[in-house]
């Protein structure tokens, strides 16, 4: 079949890694243009060397180029603030979709193995955050067995893997991820924490997921988690359980107090993950960036299958 032509806005680490992933591995997508605002950007220079069209005049610059009419799918790897401007342009063209890798959350959240089928006809989808892509599948895996009352995630990433965009979006990260834990993961209450680990040599992404749910069969929860890990591994091979799933029972006569929920008892499940990057452009320790680009690519591939 003919490949769907795509553009990427944002020639930073995430945008450049995504560009290389599309060029090297995509079955359904054809990279056409890289969009930036800095004429001296390394990402734009790399895109030019790879033979793709470029502009340093933002999305408005691409809109004025002949390539624009053929581009059907746009990946936004800029910032939450910039995405709002970019969507104002894309929204005017009914034949184009945008996959948002910022925490702007203008469009509905999308975590491919959890809710793609609910998002297939939406023109602007949001990939949540790196922590969200890594951990929300685990919250959802528990929730499909037992109602999750509280879901908390702690994402620890190498400080070196957190560029200016990531650091500028820290507040949006915690708010967006917590909301998506509820909206997509199914938890009644969500909380997200991010840690920038300055260790040398840099450590790979590690995520801890805590859920407090109704009592349920522990073997069924464990099986559901392992099934979901396998689903994520289809597009992020470096995604894995760092340790086996752990359970603790919170008895009714010794409940814990959770703000917004009151006193809660049930089954506490602890899931420890690690994410090793594929090393296409970014170092392997930057699994936090790799899981974002991989999830965006997996979503783009599926959208392309429906668009041809």
Active site residues: 130
Residues 150-187 as b or e (16 or more Cβ within 10 Å = b): bbbbbbbbbebbbeebbeebeebbbebbbbbbbbbbbb
3-state secondary structure of 120: coil
The length of the chain is: 308
- Residues 107 and 123: beta-carbon distance below 8 Å: yes
The H or E element that residue 240 is part of is strand 239-241
Tokens of 175: 């708010």
Give which of 110, 129, 140 is closest to 211, Cα–Cα: 140
How far apart, in whole angstroms, are the C-alpha atoms of residue 194 and residue 207? 9
The H or E element that residue 297 is part of is helix 287-307
The H or E element that residue 292 is part of is helix 287-307
How far apart, in whole angstroms, are the C-alpha atoms of residue 137 and residue 226? 11
DSSP codes, 142-181:
HHTTS-EEEEEEEEEEEGGG--HHHHHTHHHHHHHHHHHH
């Amino acid at each position: 079949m003919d490949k769907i032509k795509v553009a990427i806005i944002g020639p930073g680490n995430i945008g450049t890694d995504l560009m290389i992933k599309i060029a090297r591995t995509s079955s359904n997508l054809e990279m056409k243009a890289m969009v930036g605002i800095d004429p001296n950007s390394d990402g734009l220079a790399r895109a030019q060397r790879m033979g793709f069209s470029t502009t340093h005049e933002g999305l408005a610059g691409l809109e004025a180029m002949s390539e624009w009419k053929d581009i059907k799918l746009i990946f936004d790897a800029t910032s939450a603030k910039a995405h709002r401007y970019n969507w104002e342009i894309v929204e005017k063209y009914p034949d184009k979709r945008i996959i948002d890798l910022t925490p702007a959350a203008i469009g509905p959240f999308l975590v491919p193995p959890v809710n793609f089928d609910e998002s297939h006809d939406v023109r602007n989808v949001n990939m949540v955050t790196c922590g969200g892509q890594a951990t929300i599948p685990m919250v959802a895996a528990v929730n499909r067995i037992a109602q999750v009352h509280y879901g908390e995630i702690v994402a620890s990433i190498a400080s070196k893997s957190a560029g200016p965009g990531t650091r500028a979006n820290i507040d949006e990260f915690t708010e967006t991820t917590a909301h998506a834990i509820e909206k997509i993961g199914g938890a009644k209450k969500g909380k997200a924490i991010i840690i920038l680990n300055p260790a040398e040599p840099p450590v790979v992404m590690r995520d801890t997921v805590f859920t407090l749910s109704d009592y349920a069969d522990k073997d069924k929860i464990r099986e559901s988690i392992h099934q979901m890990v396998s689903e994520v591994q289809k597009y992020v091979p470096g995604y894995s359980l760092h340790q086996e799933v752990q359970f603790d029972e919170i008895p009714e006569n010794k409940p814990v107090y959770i703000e917004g929920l009151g006193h809660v008892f049930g089954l506490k499940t602890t899931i420890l993950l690690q994410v090793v990057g594929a090393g296409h452009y970014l170092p392997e320790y930057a699994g936090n960036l790799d899981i974002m680009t991989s999830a965006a690519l997996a979503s783009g591939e599926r959208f392309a299958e429906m668009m041809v």
